[in-house]
């Protein structure tokens, strides 16, 4: 009876005609002003509860984390993406022992692979050298970095999953980058049969990799994620756990997808802002020649810039839909089991009252009066709680290393003839900055 309020529902359509689905963020902001931090909208006859702002986020994701950690199953994207119901992977899997087991294993494996340790850093730096090469070829001119950053992000996660470098011309790399980029905009574009076809083709390619890999695998000597998973399967035998090759195949897509488009768009957004505000680039370097991930704690300004990149990047504006695991309450409203809950991450990352400069790209958002690094509570680009992003550590390391390494070698500026930049991104489950060109100059080596 006390379901969250919302705009008047039109039979059959619900509220879809009242929302700009191509770019709904402004509409959601308008509805917050009218109905408060928690309200409902209807897609046809199906209600979605939208959660806005830090206070409502904390109740949803932290204090009532287990009431809201489900994931809706009967939506179109799941049918296209998952392919096999018994092997749901992690990203779209409902809250269940299977999800828990697979998430824990993935997290541990990413960590043991050297996250926070030297070896992961070396893998990332090796991939950055390919980016540097392309930028060197374009130095003195301008370029659209779109494909370059997608290729780089995809290659880095492929190093973890498959243990090898893919050339930027490789068919698998090109196919994957295109697949992720197109389908992450599914919410606002025409799609259907084509998405189903692409995800099925992607599964065939992953199965092929898994089969090829077995030929060179030495049990107990893992080279990459696939090997680690197969070792785990051997260890578990027939213990009735959820570990199986279909799950491995699903996880490969989850991690490759989640690790490519998010990072690529964060980097695109980073270099859009940095090109327009080149004075920030000079302050990042501040006379330092060598910068390693290890040193970041001693570099408050660099930390502030990287965090501001993730905040203004705002790449997953509505997170990934949650669902209520039982009949529960949220901010005084009744939420029936199974209700889809939309976490409007964008509303928190730009919330007035939480940030010194909510609407501008400004590293001061993460610095106190003494110039020390501080992280406001509303810094939630990776969400929070039980379903929080499991690639956060890798994402932070990648964005740090790519940004700092490229700034050491190049200076990026906004082309004089490019007019004013449009910072409003193209909306999607993962959103993308509008295409732009940046001017690239080699820095003088000291
Ligand atoms: C800037 C980069 C990234 C951002 C902003 C980001 C953000 C997010 C967000 C908002 C979620 C949804 C959390 C929720 O449902 O409440 C998520 C989930 C997830 N992310 Fe990321 N992510 C990033 C990079 C990565 C990377 C590099 C990987 C993999 C290596 C990854 C793997 C995942 C997985 C597997 C999930 C599902 C977790 C689960 O449901 O248990 N992400 N991410």
Please tell me the predicted confidence (pLDDT) of residue 150: 96
Chain-centroid distance of CA 273 in Å reads 18
Please tell me the predicted confidence (pLDDT) of residue 354: 98
Phi, psi of 147 (to 5 degrees): -70, -35
Please tell me the predicted confidence (pLDDT) of residue 384: 97
Structural element, H or E, at residue 322: strand 322-323
Structural element, H or E, at residue 255: helix 245-276
Please tell me the predicted confidence (pLDDT) of residue 63: 97
Phi, psi of 48 (to 5 degrees): -120, 130
Please tell me the predicted confidence (pLDDT) of residue 117: 47
Q: Which of 421, 420, 399, 403 is nearest to 412 (CA)?
A: 403
Dist CA 268 CA 432 (whole Å): 8
Dist CA 446 CA 431 (whole Å): 38
Dist CA 325 CA 343 (whole Å): 15
388: tokens are 């929080």
C-alpha distance from residue 364 to each of 56, 164, 293, 350 (Å): 25, 39, 21, 14
Interval 375-414: pLDDT, tens:
999 999 999 999 999 999 999 999 999 999 999 999 999 9
Please tell me the predicted confidence (pLDDT) of residue 289: 63
Interval 197-256: pLDDT, tens:
888 889 999 999 999 999 999 999 888 999 999 999 999 998 888 999 999 999 999 999
Dist CA 198 CA 139 (whole Å): 36
Instruction: Give the strand order in the sheet containing 438-442.
Output: 142-143, 438-442, 410-413
Identify any residues that bridge with 413 across adjacent strands, giving them in sequence order. 439
With a Cβ cut-off of 6 Å, ligand 1 is lined by 90-91, 103, 157, 254-255, 258-259, 262-263, 266, 315-316, 319-320, 322, 343, 345, 381-383, 387-391, 394-395
CA of 395 to the centre of ligand 1 (A): 9
Please tell me the predicted confidence (pLDDT) of residue 401: 93
Give the mean pLDDT of 54-67: 98
C-alpha distance from residue 165 to each of 202, 259, 268, 270, 414 (Å): 19, 15, 22, 24, 31
| Choice among 102-111, 176-185, 208-217, 301-310 with the minimum mean pLDDT | 176-185
Please tell me the predicted confidence (pLDDT) of residue 298: 84
On the CB side of 290, CA atoms within 13 Å amount to 3
Phi-psi category of residue 220: left, alpha or beta, with phi > 0 → left and psi -120 to 50 → alpha: left
Pocket test for ligand 1, best of 116, 258, 388 (most atoms within 8 A of CB): 258
Dist CA 325 CA 336 (whole Å): 9
CA of 415 to the centre of ligand 1 (A): 33
267 vs 293, residue with greater confidence: 267
Please tell me the predicted confidence (pLDDT) of residue 191: 55
Confidence at 83, pLDDT banded by 50, 70, 90: low
Residue holding tokens 């204090």? 63
pTM, entire model: 0.95
CA of 179 to the centre of ligand 1 (A): 18
Dist CA 116 CA 13 (whole Å): 49
Dist CA 201 CA 215 (whole Å): 22
- Percent over 90 (pLDDT), the chain: 75
DSSP 328: E
> Nearest 5 degrees, angle CA 11-CA 16-CA 17?
85
Structural element, H or E, at residue 394: helix 392-409
Helices (H), 277-355: 278-285, 300-313, 345-349
Supply the residue whose CA is at minimum distance from atom 31 of ligand 1: 391
Determine contact, residues 56/331, Cβ cutoff 8 Å: yes
Please tell me the predicted confidence (pLDDT) of residue 94: 94
- Bridge-based pairing of strands 340-344 and 333-335 is unpaired
Supply the residue whose CA is at minimum distance from atom 6 of ligand 1: 382
> Does pLDDT of 69 surpass 90?
yes
On the CB side of 150, CA atoms within 13 Å amount to 20
330: tokens are 């949220």
Supply the residue whose CA is at minimum distance from atom 37 of ligand 1: 91
Confidence at 190, pLDDT banded by 50, 70, 90: low
| Choice among 184-188, 193-197, 223-227 with the minimum mean pLDDT | 184-188
Phi, psi of 2 (to 5 degrees): -100, 50
Please tell me the predicted confidence (pLDDT) of residue 396: 95
Assembly ipTM: 0.99
Interval 105-156: pLDDT, tens:
999 999 887 544 457 888 899 999 999 999 999 999 999 999 999 999 999 9
CA of 322 to the centre of ligand 1 (A): 13
Determine contact, residues 433/269, Cβ cutoff 8 Å: yes
The dihedral sign for the CA sequence 396, 93, 222, 220: positive
Please report the beta strands in 24-85, taking only residues with DSSP state E, as ranges in sequence order.
38-43, 46-52
Please tell me the predicted confidence (pLDDT) of residue 372: 94
Q: Which of 276, 350, 371 is nearest to 308 (CA)?
A: 350
Dist CA 425 CA 44 (whole Å): 27
> Does pLDDT of 194 surpass 90?
no
Dist CA 23 CA 390 (whole Å): 27
> Does pLDDT of 95 surpass 80?
yes
Q: What is the mean pLDDT of the chain?
A: 91
Pocket test for ligand 1, best of 116, 267, 389 (most atoms within 8 A of CB): 389
C-alpha distance from residue 259 to each of 63, 305, 446 (Å): 28, 21, 35
């Amino acid at each position: 009876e006390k379901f969250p309020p919302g705009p008047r529902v039109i039979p059959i359509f619900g509220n879809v005609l009242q929302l700009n689905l191509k770019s709904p963020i402004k509409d959601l902001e308008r509805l917050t002003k009218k109905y408060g931090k928690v309200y409902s909208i209807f897609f046809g006859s199906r209600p979605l509860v939208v959660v806005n702002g830090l206070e409502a986020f904390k109740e949803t994701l932290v204090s009532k984390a287990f009431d809201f950690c489900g994931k809706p199953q009967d939506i179109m994207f799941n049918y296209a993406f998952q392919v096999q119901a018994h092997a749901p992977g992690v990203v779209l899997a409902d809250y269940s022992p299977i999800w828990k087991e697979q998430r824990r294993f993935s997290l541990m494996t990413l960590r043991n692979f050297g996250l926070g340790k030297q070896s992961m850093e070396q893998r990332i730096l090796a991939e950055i050298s390919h980016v540097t090469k392309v930028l060197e070829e374009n130095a003195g001119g301008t370029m659209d970095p779109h494909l370059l950053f997608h290729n780089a992000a995809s290659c880095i996660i492929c190093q973890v999953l498959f243990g090898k470098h893919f050339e930027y011309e490789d068919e698998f790399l090109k196919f994957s980058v295109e697949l992720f980029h197109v389908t992450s905009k599914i919410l606002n574009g025409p799609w259907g049969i084509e998405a189903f076809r692409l995800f099925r083709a992607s599964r065939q390619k992953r199965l092929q990799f898994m089969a090829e890999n077995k030929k060179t695998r030495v049990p107990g000597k893992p080279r990459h994620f696939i090997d680690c998973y197969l070792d785990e399967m051997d260890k578990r035998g027939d213990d009735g756990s959820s570990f199986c090759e279909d799950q491995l195949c699903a996880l490969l897509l989850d991690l490759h997808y989640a690790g490519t488009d998010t990072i690529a768009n964060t980097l695109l957004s980073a270099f859009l802002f940095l090109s327009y505000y080149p004075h920030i680039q000079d302050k990042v370097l501040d006379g330092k020649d060598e910068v390693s991930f290890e040193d970041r704690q001693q570099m408050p300004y660099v930390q502030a810039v990287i965090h501001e990149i993730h905040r203004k990047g705002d790449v997953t504006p509505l997170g990934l839909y949650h669902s209520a695991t039982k009949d529960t309450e949220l901010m005084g409203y009744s939420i029936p089991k199974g209700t889809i809950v939309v976490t409007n991450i964008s509303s928190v990352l730009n919330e007035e009252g939480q940030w010194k400069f909510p609407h501008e790209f400004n590293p001061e958002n993460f610095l106190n009066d003494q110039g020390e690094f501080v992280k406001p509570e509303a810094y939630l680009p990776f969400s929070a709680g039980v379903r929080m992003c499991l690639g956060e550590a890798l994402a932070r390391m990648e964005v740090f290393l790519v940004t700092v390494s490229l700034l050491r070698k190049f200076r990026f500026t906004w082309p004089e003839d490019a007019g004013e930049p449009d910072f409003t991104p193209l909306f999607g489950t993962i959103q993308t900055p509008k295409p732009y060109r940046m001017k690239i100059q080699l820095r003088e080596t000291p």
